[in-house]
Amino acid sequence: KQEVTQIPAALSVPEGENLVLNCSFTDSAIYNLQWFRQDPGKGLTSLLLIQSSQREQTSGRLNASLDKSSGRSTLYIAASQPGDSATYLCAVSPYGAAGNKLTFGGGTRVLVKP
Amino acid sequence: EPEVTQTPSHQVTQMGQEVILRCVPISNHLYFYWYRQILGQKVEFLVSFYNNEISEKSEIFDDQFSVERPDGSNFTLKIRSTKLEDSAMYFCASSVWDRDNSPLHFGNGTRLTVT
């Protein structure tokens, strides 16, 4: 059974510092890995999707890498801003199941201090 | 930008009552999903729906749950006889395809409180 783990559970950094968020998964047979942002009381916003054949994806200040063989993904957020404060979730789509039947990690709660 | 909308934002019900949670997916999306998040726990997959039928469901999605697309725009989740442990945030989501390059778009959720 696929397990997704995110460490650390919480992170506090001063504004301007780069953020590094980690995600690990136990079964490398995946279609894709997705990173989401969740603000308090809100839904999940899709940030990046990395297909299993890709090594990384970039969008603005965000960069996500995927090492499928070791079961790891890292989300980098450059030059963090207070508006980046949120919970970041990673999720994997298992091979052989419905493409968006996602298994989620527990999230990393990020606080960027001005 | 098009978005998934969910109503109500908060629903309080008594144990044993039926509830219907409503969602309007993004109009050109073909695949629809329900996920839930119990307070302090991970987001969990409940069910996926395509072409007017369930394509996959989790162990959580037992006979107390059902989904329906009653018209061309709404997608509903019904819980027949609610239990205390059904209290959670329920998220509707949709995607264009059910493929490896089609991201999920989530609504803001319905917070269900069963008393």
The string of pLDDT tens digits covering residues B36-89 is 999 999 999 999 999 899 999 999 999 999 999 988 789 999 999 999 999 999
The predicted pLDDT at position A40 comes to: 87
Q: Based on C-alpha coordinates, what's the Rg of chain B?
A: 13
Q: In which band, very low, low, confident or very high, does the pLDDT at B100 lie, cut at 50, 70 and 90?
A: low
Segment B91-102 shows an average pLDDT of: 82
The string of pLDDT tens digits covering residues B86-96 is 999 999 999 98
Percentages of chain A per state (helix, strand, coil), in multiples of 5: 5, 60, 40
Give me the DSSP letters along A50-101.
Answer: EETT-SEEEETTEEEEEETTTTEEEEEESS--GGG-EEEEEEEEETTS-TT-
- Greater confidence (B2 vs A29) lies with A29
Segment A97-103 shows an average pLDDT of: 78
Chain B residues touching residue A42 (CB < 8 angstroms): 108-109
Segment A90-105 shows an average pLDDT of: 84
DSSP state of B30: -
Q: In which band, very low, low, confident or very high, does the pLDDT at A57 lie, cut at 50, 70 and 90?
A: very high
Cβ of B91 within 8 Å of Cβ of A44? The answer is yes
Neighbours of A67 (CB within 10 A): 13
Segment B12-41 shows an average pLDDT of: 95
Whether A89 has its CB under 8 Å from any CB of chain B: the answer is yes
Q: In which band, very low, low, confident or very high, does the pLDDT at B111 lie, cut at 50, 70 and 90?
A: very high
The predicted pLDDT at position A99 comes to: 62
pLDDT greater than 80 at residue B35: yes
The predicted pLDDT at position B1 comes to: 73
- Greater confidence (A97 vs B67) lies with B67
Whether A40 has its CB under 8 Å from any CB of chain B: the answer is no
Dist. CA B26–CA B32, nearest whole Å: 9
The predicted pLDDT at position B2 comes to: 73
What is the number of H-type helices and E-type strands within chain B? 0, 11
The string of pLDDT tens digits covering residues A15-48 is 999 999 999 999 999 988 999 999 988 889 999 9
The predicted pLDDT at position B71 comes to: 86
Chain A residues touching residue B47 (CB < 8 angstroms): none
Cβ of A104 within 8 Å of Cβ of B55? The answer is no
The predicted pLDDT at position A101 comes to: 86
The string of pLDDT tens digits covering residues A63-91 is 999 999 999 999 999 999 999 999 999 99
